[in-house]
Amino acid sequence: MTFCASCGTALPSVPPVRCAGCGRTSYLNSPCCAGALVVHDRRLLLARRTIEPWAGHWDIPGGYCEPGEHPRDCAVRETYEETGLRVVTTGLHGIWLDPPGSSGSEAGTICVFYHAILAPTSAPDPFAVAGSSVLPAAGDPTGYGETSGIAWFEPSCMPARVAFPGSVPAVLRAWRTAVSQDHAPQPSADMAEPDAVPVTAAGSVRVRHPGRAE
Ligand SMILES: [Zn+2]
C-alpha cells in the first residue's frame, strides 16, 4: 500500500496515480545515492555497516542525496559521516542502478560513485584522537552509528561479504580494473600527507598489508 505524500490518503494503485483526497499525482522515482571510492596508498576505503539492509557487510561509504544536494557533495558528506575522514573527489567513477527491491527502495536506486582521495587535513580528524585506533561503538551518540569499522583493502584482497549485491560488486570490479590500468587517481606528490592515519577498526578488522607480517 502506498500513501499520498501530501495528505496521507491511501492510493488506489501503484504510482503514477492521482490522489482522491487532494488531487496530487504521485510518482514513483528512483532516489539518488552517491558514494566515494577513497584510495590511499593504492588501497580502497570500505566501511562495515551496522544497519539494515546488509548489516555486517562491507560497503562503499555513501548514502542518499539530500534535497538539492549535488551527488558529489553527498559523497563527501556521507564519507565523513560514516568514516570520519575528510575526502575530496577527483573524478566520476560511474553510475549504477541498484535494482528495485535490492536496496530497500521499491523503485531501485541510482548510485553515483566518485573517485576520491584523503583531503589535505584542514579539520581535525575525530578518529585521530590521542592515538586512538578504535571507532566509536555502533549507536554511539557522538556519531558514526551506521559504521562498526573501516579498513583499507588492496585491490587483490576485497572482502567477501559486501553490501548491496545489485551494484557494489560491479562497482568494485570496475574500480579494480581502473586501478590495474592505472586509471584511478592517486594523490599527487606535492600533496601534504594527511594527519589522519588509517585506523584499524573495532572488532579486529585490520588494515590489509598482503605479504607483510602483522
Ligand atoms: Zn493526497
pLDDT-derived band at 9 (thresholds 50, 70, 90) equals very high
pLDDT band at 185 (very low <50, low <70, confident <90, very high): low
Give distance in angstroms: CA of 185 to centre of ligand 1: 48
Model confidence at 204: pLDDT above 70 = no
Which three cell numbers, joined as nine digits, stand for 144?
558514526
Backbone φ, ψ for residue 43 (5° rounding): -115, 155
Q: Rounded mean pLDDT of 102-106?
A: 72
Is pTM beyond 0.75 here?
no
Q: In sequence order, what E strands does the chain have?
A: 17-18, 25-26, 32-40, 43-49, 58-59, 62-64, 87-98, 109-118, 147-153
- Mean pLDDT (whole number) for 8-15: 90
For residue 31, the model assigns a pLDDT of 92
Eight-state DSSP code of residue 49: E
**pLDDT one-digit tens code per residue, 25-72:** 998 889 999 999 999 888 899 998 888 888 899 999 999 999 999 999
pLDDT at 110 over 60: yes
CATH of domain 32-180: 3.90.79.10
Q: Are strands 32-40 and 109-118 parallel, antiparallel or unpaired?
A: parallel
Q: Convert the pLDDT of each residue in 113-153 to its tens digit.
A: 999 998 876 444 444 433 333 344 434 434 456 787 888 88
- Residue 83, class by beta-carbon neighbours within 10 Å (0-12 exposed, 13-18 middle, 19+ buried)? buried
Q: Which residues crowd ion ligand 1, with CB under 5 Å?
A: 4, 6-7, 9, 19, 21-22, 24
Of 113, 126, 111, 114, whose CA–CA distance to 88 is shortest?
Answer: 114
pLDDT value of residue 207: 37
Is the distance from CB of 7 to CB of 23 less than 8 angstroms?
no
The confidence band for 85, taking pLDDT boundaries of 50, 70 and 90, is confident
Instruction: Please give the Cα distance from 122 to 189 (Å, whole number).
Output: 18
Average pLDDT, the chain: 76
24 or 205, greater pLDDT = 24
> What spacing in Å lies between the alpha carbon of 5 and ligand 1's midpoint?
7
Higher pLDDT, residue 191 or 144? 144
Spatial separation of the C-alpha atoms in residues 196 and 121, rounded to whole Å: 7
Which of 52, 55, 59, 57 shows the shortest CA–CA distance to 35? 59
Predicted local distance difference test score (pLDDT) of residue 61: 94
Phi and psi (nearest 5°) for 177?
-60, -45
What is the model's pLDDT at position 120?
79
Ligand 1 centre distance from Cα of residue 7 (Å): 4
Give the count of alpha carbons within 13 A of 7, CB side only: 11
CA distance 91 to 183: 11
CA of 15 to the centre of ligand 1 (A): 12
191 has pLDDT over 50? no
pLDDT: which is higher, 178 or 145: 178
Model confidence band, residue 106 (pLDDT cutoffs 50, 70, 90): confident
